[in-house]
Amino acid sequence: MNAIFNQAPVEAEELRFTCGDSWLGAVLVAVSSQGVASILIGDHPDKLRRELAAAFPQARLVSDGDGLREPFDKVVDFLEAPGRGLDITLDVRGSALERAVWKALRAIPSGQTATYGQIAKTLPTPATAQEVGAACAANVLAVAIPCHRVVKADGSISGYRWGVGRKKRLINREAVA
């Protein structure tokens, strides 16, 4: 999986998106001119569209179900069999700290977890476990940036932008894949 790391959203860009279903719920995949800019998971496609609009307020959103069939199918296939990997180019946007956290998360192998504190210690600049958690909460690339693989210091599962239940199901699926 290639990743293009950008500092911030591009002004007045077009994002094409599509929604569909998976075993984990509704999935929205949005693509910029640089790659997949957002993967959102939830219960209702309309809510995911609103979440996309809030994450990219300057973007012109264009529904493109037919044109995005390939990246959408790759994401859904990855959800089904995470051990196979996800072969897509990502357009990753965030602060320097967020990008560092997300890069560290992408290094956690499928089927394994790390704690927020462990991730903080691997970063090139000092950060706290809470800052790692905040970067996870800011992630708009569900599963491609695997925030679901981060657990509390005692190994328990906590917070996940797309719901703790989904986080548990993702961890369990990766453990047996």
Q: Are residues 64 and 101 in the same domain?
A: no
Residues 67 and 111 in one domain: no
Pick from 91, 106, 135: which residue ends a domain? 91
Exactly one of 147, 150, 170, 171 is catalytic; name it: 147
In the listed set 68, 91, 114, which residue is the last one of a domain according to the structure? Answer: 91
Please indicate, yes or no, whether residues 15 and 42 belong to a single structural domain of this protein: yes
Determine if the pTM surpasses 0.75: yes
**Final residue in a domain of this structure, among 91, 108, 128:** 91
Q: How many domains does the chain have?
A: 2
Half-sphere exposure of 62 (CA within 13 A, CB side): 13
Sequence-separated (6 or more) residues with CB below 8 Å from residue 174: 82, 83, 110, 111, 149
Helices 96-106 and 129-138, packing angle to 10 deg:
90
Tens digits of residue pLDDT in 147-164:
999 999 999 998 899 999
Q: What is the CATH number of the domain that holds 11?
A: 3.30.160.70
Q: Which H/E stretch holds residue 90?
A: strand 89-93
Is 147 a known active-site residue? Answer: yes
Residues 85, 22, single domain; the answer is yes
CATH number at residue 122: 1.10.10.10
Residues 136 and 55 in one domain: no
- 3-state helix vs strand vs coil in the chain, percent to 5: 40, 25, 35
**N- to C-terminal Cα distance for the chain?**
19
Q: Which domain range does residue 169 map to?
A: 96-176
Q: Tens of pLDDT along 87-146?
A: 999 999 999 999 999 999 999 999 999 999 999 999 999 999 999 999 999 999 999 999
Same domain flag for 107 and 49 = no
Q: Are 87 and 8 in the same domain? A: yes
Confidence of residue 84 (pLDDT cuts 50, 70, 90): confident
